[in-house]
Structure 1
Amino acid sequence: MKQRKTRTLMGIILTLLMLIPVFQDSRPALLQRFEYDLYDIRLKHFAKREQDPRIVIVDVDEKSLAEQGRWPWNRAKLAQLLDQLFDHYGVAIAGFDMVFSEADSSIDLEQLATLLLEADQIPDLQRILQQLNPDQRLAAAIRERPVVLGYSFDRSDRQLQAGDPGIAVAHSSPLLDQQPIPRASGIIASVDGLHSQQAYSGFFDNPMVDSDGVYRRVPMLQMYQGQYYPSLSLAIWLALFDERQVIPEFEADLFGDHQALVSISAGGQKIPVDSSAAMLVPYRGGKGSFPYISATDVMNGLAEPAQLNGAIVLIGTSAAGLLDLRVTPVSSRYPGVEVHANILSGLLDNRIFSEPDYTVAVEIMQLLISGILLSVLIPRSSVTSSTLITLGWAACLTAFNLYAWQSLYWVLPLGYTLFLVLLLYLFQQTTGYFFETRNVKQLAGQFGHYIPPEVVRELGRQEEGVHLSGENRDMTIFFSDIRGFTRISEQLTPQQLTRMMNIYLTEMTHIIHQQHGTVDKYIGDAVMAFWGAPLKDDDHARHGLDAALAMLQQLPIVNQRLVAEGLPEVEIGIGLHAGIMSVGNMGSEFRMAYTVMGDAVNLASRLEGLTRFYGCPLLVSGELCERLPGYLYRQIDRVQVKGRLEPVELFQPISVANTEDADLAERVASFNQGVALYREQQWASARERFQQWLTHAPSDSVATIYLQRIAELEQNSPGKEWHAVFSHQLK
């Protein structure tokens, strides 16, 4: 019990120590990587794996470069691309996942030839030059259309200032400025000729790539020069609804000491974000989750109109040398343009994974419940049961986590809790093994010479421990003694006597151990043993009797060994009784012994002494005989022994019933009938039965005793009040 409490307390302390990194938000890197891996597994397993036709990627691919020329194209071609998308195909909106940070000074020769042929219609050269300006041509194509330009923020010490980010979607405020939103020191945006103050634009860089280099989250806002600007996907979302501002929403954190950003409202939808304004990318699947159309097919009018009509278009690149690849949970080579497409798809479906603002509280509760549950149950369970409990609890945690993921779009931490579950399991099993090993060593020191090793091991596994302080218990007690030992010992040298006792006691003790008995002590040539302690044994009476019968069967073999070594043969007497007795560590301050005491012990000792008087090698009490009816018994006598007022029935076990021949069973039954007739004072009939027994066993002392008693009682009638009890009070 004390060891279980110690293991439980140690498990709870370990759990509390594991909580510290959660409060400090400083989990070990390896465990954080494990959490990332579990997130990736869930994302890939529950991915939709089907294309979203509402968002189309117009791709500057190898085919486009082969037909339209090398990149970068003259921006007049991009203007032609936009004209086709809006005028011919009727797209809803177009976003550029690219930046035009430098002016385009190239000339489109085809356009120049056309203008020269029409020179008589153009009043001056200045107008020709204006029409040849590719930036103005692209700016004209962008103007009055829902087109979103991309740009990249710079966080280096160079503080680059190329272009303008456009309109801020949130202004500086005390609450917003307190949030750990990424802050930029510079910008690389499109040239002013392309970017008007009313145009939509958004950043496509990601300063929040996870520590393992994987794109799992993207900031929706970044701060630049005291204002907050949107990501490319958020800017496209705002442009769809013709909105210019987002509304940040805050809630008190777990400890209530400050307000944390939890979402931003845009386009009539609340977008869950973390305090850094970052959103988990709701990946639909691997590369190709959205339709791709070659840019040159759009420019040449060869694209399928049904694919583009009303679609959200993202213009990106996949040609060799231009490929914008990212490492994502679903692929290690994932087009960056599809990251924006996944965000827009998630917004359209309102399928945004998020970490609730009470995520830390959920994780703390998971850790506490796991720690307390396993710390309490594992020390009280076997290895198999504790393994099943641990696996079951881990399955429950995983099932709850997957339910929250799939049904509520909640991303709840799981890896750190599973690590604690595994750690507690290994810790509890290790400490359990340590305590069990120590217990076995202690028990071996106390019982190793008296009980078999397998019983010692079983004692070490007992959940309730061993009561050494003393208790009353129903047990079987055994005494055996070598007859005539004093005479034998006088004939032997000390060395011969030691050798004889070693051979005899080794064989007898081995039989006791085989029957799960405990050797209490050796008293010279006597052996005292018991069954039912320290390990409880519901079948202790049978084990004790089987041991006694086995000893008698083994004794001839022992005598053969003794004779072979020039030692005398031995005969033994055994007394056996079952009843309630006290068992425990008993003794003095100087010496303690695990032993038994009580009336039942004294009776067993008396039975062993009476074997000499009756000439029987084994005597058992009537109480033990009643418990084991499956044996063949010869009824010996009804006696009164020293220290006990109530008469005791004596029986001699012959064998297990039905294992001997029928003739022996009949003779035993006849003898027992003779005892019954004797007690009924039918002397003649009783004499006849005992004489019949002597014809088969002429040296039997019991039958001879009864014949002597009958002769005396016939001369002196005992009267009607006679109870046929023979007194051994002086023995």
Structure 2
Amino acid sequence: MGLLARHWSRIAITLLPLVFALLHAVGVLPIPFVERLDANLYDARLRASMPGTLDPRVVIIDIDEKSLAEAGRWPWSRNRLAEMVDELFERQKIALLGFDVVFAEPDDSSGLKRLRQMAEDELRDAAGFRQRLQQLQADLDYDAVFARALEKRPVVLGYYFTGEGRKSGVLPAPVMTRESLRGRPIRFTRFSGYGANIEALARAAPMAGHFTPLTDGDGVVRSIPLVAEHDGAYYEALSLAMFRLLVGKPAVEPGFPTEHLAGHDYPGLASLVLRQGRRALPIPVDDRVATLVPFRGPGGPAGGSFRYVSASDVLLHRLPPDDLKDKIVLVGTTAPGLLDLRVTPVGETYPGVETHANVIAGLLDGRLHVMPDYAVGYEVVMLLVAGLLLALLLPLLSASVAVLASFGVVAALVGLNYWLFAAHGLVLPLASGLLMAGTAFALNMSYGYFVESRSKRELANLFGTYVPPELVDEMVKDPDSYSMKATSKELTVMFCDMRGFTKMSEKMEPTQLQELLNEVFSRLTDIIRANRGTIDKYMGDCVMAFWGAPVDTPRHAQLAVRSALAMEQSVVQINEDHRARGIPEIGVGIGINTGTMCVGDMGSDIRRSYTVIGDAVNLGSRLEGLSKVYGVAIVVSDAARRQAPEFAWQELDRVRVKGKEQAVGIFTPVGVLATLDAGTAEELEAWGTFLAAYRAQEWERSELELRNLRRIHAKKYLYELYSERVASMKLLPFDPSWDGATTFETK
């Protein structure tokens, strides 16, 4: 208690996030950001737990681009749809058919309406015409033909609700009455208008369900209202109607929540109860009487969750008999022009028909995700337990142990939440707990940090992850001389990219690839740090570093080149090990440039980094890319070369890179000048003679010099590159304006 009394201020600060989180949880102070984060966390849990397997029970008849090309644009005549229905039930012997399309207008494509008009007007005296029309009208009334195909078959039609008040077509009978709600104000999703099927079809197939999804505030479809309200009556969704028809058309009753769990003012139902005789099947729903779509995997024909059959294949009888026997069939579309693609947690162009297929599969399996009626109570309890635990422990623990304790609390919250989700289908709030725990830890550590602030520790914390420890030791001797404030100064920057990474990623497991990358980057990083370099960042398979900051280093270019040569040699040793282990070999491409750069702490309020920016940095990145072009491991600008006189150099070219008008000389180091052998020195001299002839457009002399060089190094790519250039350019007339530079238009 004495310890707690001494740390009461830190405890109070740590409790602040708990207070705000509780106010959000009970609805007193809703925080939109937390709600959006909860939605994103739900999406992540969903994607992590999707089975990703094919459900053979449900098949989607797809009005796809192929069908539109073969059968004509939509809508198709109803007699053709009747043929498709007959094919599905008689030849394929399906169990159940649902339409994720609406037939809101009569079909006049047969011309029957015009023929009747002619019989009443210009051909009224033609008795034979009227008689023949009476004989044909049964076949020409395509709506009647389609209706006869639907009659006495397990078919569920689809329709949609709208909030715009327009009404067309005939709604099916509602599945629940207001009286069954016992006067409770349930927060159904309410609609003022609808677009339903024409009367002839609605009479032929009295079972129908709406296919209107719920779109969240971020534009993502995550749920479907299983029952929606219109004019005081309650109508079921297409997926629920198909499921009910499949299991014998049980009645739908409201399942009321338990008040001591949900609270007496909970605005929703706990479930929808399907009751048939003594049997009752509860289907859990959220406070909007909706269910979250239990997505099985990515959508569409290539998604692998459901079998897609092109509608034209059914129309043209391409399927073998009984190929779809006993299947639950949904007719829908993936054609972009028919506007039934949705943004969902598992895809931005997800077929709307597949959302209903997922719900049907979930109903069959008893596997529906739902936010239960007691979600608020769960959230409050989790916040109190985790918040009070952190508030009491963090002030008493060292920084390292506090990190472990906070991580343990967060891991417990995430683990319990995911277990309830994966094992029991419960979608419970998580974002408020994570943000509360993270903010409580941050405030607690920040308070202790600022109260006990020490300039040397501050400096070490700021720069310790960027620069070698020996440089930090120098800096802390005079901390006031260093800061992360941006400044301009001459520095040397290096970009080092790993070659062969894509090839390795195709052949290695992710964990093996991670281990290999860590090993390679550790070796390269050790070399950079041993040469007083500052690690800027890692970017995939690339590392960026610079020399000359935060500690002034007069020989920064020389140290960078020395690092590059050591890194090239280290890769040779790595490849020897790879060959012994049967692992693909790697290479590196390194670009180095010296120039004026802006260096300092930069970024956003969320994430910042001690880094360098400027044209000189961009040029260094371009030079790294040119290493592939010239077949060398290291490309160094002329500015950096001039500041590294201890090395011997081979000039590669003069180039204009993208974004730069002025040509830049580029070089590659061939070793330490003091130890250069006579053969290499002679080769460099010959190369210089070639470049002089090349830039003077003396092509015959250039070819002669190149032949001599290729005798020395027959397989050197640089000489092959220039041989091709000379062969091409000798075909062109002399250009007095040409300065010998090569222009690159890409990065």
Fold shared, TM-score > 0.5 on shorter chain: yes
Q: Which moved more, 1:222-231 or 1:17-26?
A: 17-26
Asked if structure 2 preserves the Cα contact closer than 8 Å seen for 1:182 and 1:276, the reply is yes
Q: Residue 317 in 1 paired to residue 323 in 2?
A: no
- State the AA in 1 paired with 2:154: P
Per-residue deviation, 1:32 = 1.3
Return closer, same or farther for 1:255/1:69 CA change in 2, 3 Å cut-off: closer
Instruction: Kindly indicate whether residue 358 of structure 2 is the aligned counterpart of residue 350 of structure 1.
Output: no
Q: Which amino acid is 2:373 matched to? A: D
Other-structure match for 2:743: none
Matches within 5 A, 1:345-384: 345-384=361-400
Alpha carbons of 1:258 and 1:283: their partners in 2 closer, same or farther (altered >3 Å)? closer
Q: Which residue of 2 aligns with 1:301?
A: 317
CA distance in 1: counterparts of 2:356 and 2:68, whole angstroms? 23
Identify which of 387, 412, 434 aligns with 2:403: 387
Residue correspondence of structure 1 range 102-501 to structure 2 within 5 A: 102-107=105-110, 124-156=132-164, 159-173=165-179, 174-175=181-182, 178-196=185-203, 199-206=206-213, 208-243=214-249, 245-251=251-257, 252=259, 254-257=262-265, 260-266=268-274, 268-287=280-299, 288=303, 289-305=305-321, 307-437=323-453
| SS at structure 2 position matched to 1:321 | helix
CA contact (8 A) 1:161 1:188 kept: yes
Q: Which residue does 2:79 correspond to in 1?
A: 76
1:393 deviates by 1.3
Alignment partner of 1:24: what SS? coil
Give the TM-score normalised by the residue count of structure 1: 0.56
Distance 1:300 1:344 in 2: 28
Could you tell me which amino acid in structure 2 is paired with residue 417 of structure 1? G
How far off its partner does 1:244 sit?
Answer: 5.8
Is it true that 1:24 corresponds to 2:13 in the alignment? no
TM-score (norm 2): 0.55
Residue by residue over 1:444-484, the C-alpha shift from the partner in whole angstroms, topping out at 9 and shown as x without a partner, is xxxxxxxxxxxxxxxxxxxxxxxxxxxxxxxxxxxxxxxxx
User: Do 2:187 and 2:268's aligned partners in 1 also have CA atoms closer than 8 Å?
Assistant: no
Give the secondary-structure state (helix, strand or coil) at the position aligned to 1:314: strand
Alignment partners' CA distance in 1, 2:385 and 2:144? 65
What's the offset of the Cα at 1:304? 4.1
SS in 1 for 2:256: strand
Any idea what the Cα deviations from partners look like across 1:592-622, whole Å, max 9, x if unmatched?
xxxxxxxxxxxxxxxxxxxxxxxxxxxxxxx
Structure with the greater alpha carbon radius of gyration: 1
SS in 1 for 2:272: strand
Q: Please list, as runs of the form range in 1=range in 2, the aligned pairs for 1:538-553 lying within 5 A after superposition.
A: none
1:169 is matched by which residue type in structure 2? Answer: V
Seen in structure 2, the aligned counterparts of structure 1 residues 262 and 197 have a Cα distance that, compared at 3 Å, is farther
Give 1:565-644 correspondences, 5 Å limit. Answer: none
User: 2:189 corresponds to which letter in structure 1?
Assistant: P
Q: CA deviation at 1:256?
A: 2.8
Distance in 2, Cα, partners of 1:200 & 1:247 = 17
- Deviation for aligned residue 1:323: 4.6
**Distance of 1:176 and 1:439 partners within structure 2:** 67
**1:128-184 deviation digits (Å, cap 9, x = unpaired):** 12321111111111111111111111211xx21201211110011354761110112
- Tell me the alpha carbon deviations over residues 528-553 of structure 1, each in whole angstroms, 9 at most, x when there is no partner: xxxxxxxxxxxxxxxxxxxxxxxxxx
Distance 1:254 1:439 in 2: 53
Separation of aligned partners in 2, 1:398 and 1:163: 48
* Distance change >3 Å, CA 14–CA 322, structure 1 → 2: closer
Question: Following the alignment from structure 2 to structure 1, what is the Cα–Cα distance between the partners of residues 240 and 400?
Answer: 53
Query: How far did residue 97 of structure 1 move?
Result: 0.5
In structure 2, C-alpha distance between the alignment counterparts of 1:226 and 1:258, rounded to whole Å? 20
| SS class of match (1:178) | coil
Matching residue's letter, 1:191: I
Letter in 1 for 2:76: W
Tell me if the contact between 1:168 and 1:230 (Cα under 8 Å) persists in the aligned partners. yes
Please tell me the residue identity of whatever aligns with 2:318: L
Contact 1:165 1:202 in 2 (8 A): no
Give unmatched runs, 5+ long, in structure 2.
Answer: 116-126, 457-747
Partners of 1:176 and 1:407 in 2: CA distance? 35
For this pair of structures, how many residues does the alignment match? Answer: 431
Q: Does 1:34 align with 2:37?
A: yes
Residue 307 (structure 1) shift: 4.2
1:527-566 mapped onto 2 (5 Å cutoff): none
Task: Please state whether the residue corresponding to 1:315 is helix, strand or coil.
Answer: strand
Alignment of 1:41-120 (within 5 A): 41-107=44-110
Alpha-carbon separation, structure 2, partners of 1:399 and 1:199: 47
Cα distance 1:247–1:319, how it changes in 2: closer, same or farther (>3 A)? same
Unmatched runs of 5 consecutive residues or more in structure 1 = 113-118, 441-731
Give, in angstroms, the shift of residue 421 of structure 1.
Answer: 0.4
Seen in structure 2, the aligned counterparts of structure 1 residues 293 and 316 have a Cα distance that, compared at 3 Å, is: same
Q: Deviations over 1:268-316 (max 9, x none)?
A: 5311101211101110011131100111211222124454100000001
Q: In 2, Cα distance between the equivalents of 1:107 and 1:342?
A: 37
Q: How far, CA to CA, are the matches of 1:379 and 1:87 in structure 2?
A: 74
Q: Could you list the per-position Cα deviations for residues 219-242 of structure 1 after superposition, in whole angstroms to 9, with x for gaps in the alignment?
A: 011111211001111111111123
1:11 aligned counterpart, secondary structure: helix
Moved over 3 A (4+): 174-177, 257-260, 304-307, 437-440
Q: Which amino acid aligns with 2:294?
A: P
Residue 437 of structure 1: how far off its partner (Å) = 4.0
Q: What is the CA distance between 1:18 and its match in structure 2?
A: 2.1
Rate the CA distance shift 1:177–1:362 in 2: closer, same or farther, 3 A.
closer
Q: Distance in 1 between matches of 2:195 and 2:28?
A: 34
The separation in 1 between residues aligned to 2:174 and 2:369, in whole angstroms, is 26
Q: CA deviation at 1:265?
A: 1.6
Q: Which residue of 2 aligns with 1:725?
A: none
Contact 1:91 1:308 in 2 (8 A): yes
- Provide the aligned C-alpha RMSD in A: 2.7
Cα shift at 1:320: 4.1
Q: Alpha-carbon deviation of 1:319?
A: 2.6
